[in-house]
Each structure stands twice: as C-alpha cells, then as structure tokens.
Structure 1
Amino acid sequence: MGRKSSYSAEFRNDAVALYRAAGGKRTYAAVAADGGVNGETLRSWVRQADEQAGRGEPVAAGRDEELARLRAENGRLRRAKKEWELEREILRRAAQYFAEEMRA
C-alpha cells in the first residue's frame, strides 16, 4: 500500500469532475496543469473513480470471459494435437507394415 495522498478527497473529486466536464476536448496533462498536479496522477484518479462507480467492471468481466474462452480453446486444440499425433503414428506403423508385406 502506498503513502497517504497529500491531496484531499474533495480536491481529487473536483479535479476528476473538471476533466470530465472538458468532455475529452482537453488532455489529462492540460487539466492537471490547471490544478497543479501531474497528468498521470489525474489519470489514475479518473481511473479509480471509474472503478468505484462500477464503470471498470464490465471491461474486467469481458476480459475474464475472453480469457476463459481462450483457455478452453487452447485445451481443445492441445487435445486435438495429441489425437492427430496418435493418428499419424498409427498411419506410420500401418504404412511400415504394408511396405514389409509388399517386399515379402
């Protein structure tokens, strides 16, 4: 856990509100300069406010769903690879057997 912020919660909320009021017409750095803070600090405050308001949850849920889907697909592809390797080995042995039969 980090150190306690030197900025009050009211100041942080006002800075976030000021950034949102700009409606995307101003950058984090420009809005932060007006308040005397770093642009990255303001960006982290906006991100924290979004997460507290529940706006960050759908993105995380979407990522979790995609990760679960990709893991399932990865498992399916690994099983299919093992099956193909087994089939290839069976065909290789069958070809070897019939080649020996043809020579005899």
Structure 2
Amino acid sequence: MKTATTYSPEMRARAVRMVREHQGEHESEWAAMVSIAGKIGCTAETLRRWVRQAEKDAGQREGLTTPERERLKELERENRELRQANEILRKASAYFAQAELDRPLKQ
C-alpha cells in the first residue's frame, strides 16, 4: 500500500494556479487537472480536491473554508476530550459515592 505524500501549501497553491492558467488549453477542467497532476506527481483527484477547496476559500463555491474546517476540527477534538473527562468524572463520582455507602458509621 502506498503511503500518503504531504505537499506544501506553496506546492498546492502553485498547482491550483496552474490549473486555472492552463484550463483554456484543454478540452475540460478535468483534462487540465489530469495533465498537471501528472507533471507535479499527484493524482488528478487530489488536485481536483485542492482546486475545489481553493474555490471555497475564495467564496466561489459553497462549503467550509480552510480556516473554518480547521476550527471545526479543533472544536471536535475539544468536544471529544471534554466527553472523555466527563466520563472519567462520572465514574469517579459513582465509585466514591459507593465507597461512602460502604464505610461503617461512626458512633
């Protein structure tokens, strides 16, 4: 199985720019993506996703912008951590409540 390759933001921006600049030289946007993807070493689908995200970031397409996606990811992580902390506190509370019931009364 092939490992994922990480491309720099500069490389992604350059590839998106190339698609926009050379789109008129091809019969379709997809054909431009296939051609450019082969030259930069990524798949056409990867390049298509970069182009679509750039369109969202520019307000040309509906969807979450990159900063919004990052913020959402951060909030989901924080939510997950808080749920875990609440579960730990719930279990600790139940444990100590039971321990209190099991303790003999002082007279």
> Shorter-normalised TM-score: what interval?
0.3 to 0.5
Q: Whose radius of gyration is greater, 1 or 2?
A: 1
TM-score (norm 2): 0.44
TM-score (norm 1): 0.44
Q: Which structure has more helix as a fraction of its residues?
A: 1
